[in-house]
């Protein structure tokens, strides 16, 4: 069950729009924050709060890539693989992280600390190569930097 605070937050979000349905996307972020990922139970709760058929919530959750439909590690590492980052060694960045964490792309470490993903452009092309870990951008990456960043994430 969503916490009372989360439900209140979703209800507050609906006041920003003339129709409740508009709150689906922000509400799914609330669910993701609450459960760590977008659970089926969470989607049903959003549907109930917003007075929608559950399918209308499911279809939004599965269309947009930032909603995790299964659990991810405590730190979700997302390496940009688009053109500007690729030109400056995105593949190399992925290789370094794979080696250091002992996992491949789309995998999670056994201690559930890290999930590694490749993603499309994150709008940080002038400071390529780059990655995003949870909400934070790490830019102009070098191997020693990646080392330090991973060590700092406990």
Distance between CA atoms of residues 72 and 104, nearest Å: 14
Q: Describe the strand order of the beta sheet including 114-119 as a list of residue ranges.
A: 114-119, 75-80, 131-133, 136-138
CB of 104 to other proteins, least distance (A): 12
H-state helical runs in the chain: 4-14, 24-35, 40-50, 54-63, 83-87, 90-101, 143-152
**Residue whose CB is less far from other proteins, 80 or 101:** 80
123 touches other proteins by CB under 8 A: yes
Query: Which of the residues 10 through 69 are near other proteins (CB under 8 A)?
Result: 16-19, 21-26, 28-29, 50, 56, 59-60, 63-67
Query: Which of the residues 67 through 106 are near other proteins (CB under 8 A)?
Result: 67, 81-84, 86-88, 91
Binding site for other proteins (CB under 8 A): 16-19, 21-26, 28-29, 50, 56, 59-60, 63-67, 81-84, 86-88, 91, 119-128, 132, 135-137
């Amino acid at each position: 069950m969503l916490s009372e605070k989360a439900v209140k937050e979703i209800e507050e979000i609906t006041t920003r729009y003339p129709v409740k349905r508009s709150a689906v996307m922000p509400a799914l972020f609330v669910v993701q924050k609450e459960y760590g990922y977008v659970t089926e139970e969470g989607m049903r709760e959003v549907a109930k709060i917003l007075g929608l058929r559950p399918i209308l919530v499911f279809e939004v959750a599965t269309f947009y890539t930032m909603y995790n439909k299964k659990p991810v590690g405590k730190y979700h590492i997302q390496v940009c693989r688009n053109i500007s980052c690729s030109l400056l060694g995105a593949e190399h960045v992925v290789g370094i992280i794979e080696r250091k964490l002992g996992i491949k792309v789309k995998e999670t470490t056994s201690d559930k600390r890290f999930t590694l993903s490749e993603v499309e452009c994150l709008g940080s092309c002038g400071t390529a190569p780059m990655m995003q870990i949870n909400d934070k951008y790490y830019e102009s990456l070098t191997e020693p930097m990646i080392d330090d960043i991973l060590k700092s994430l406990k």
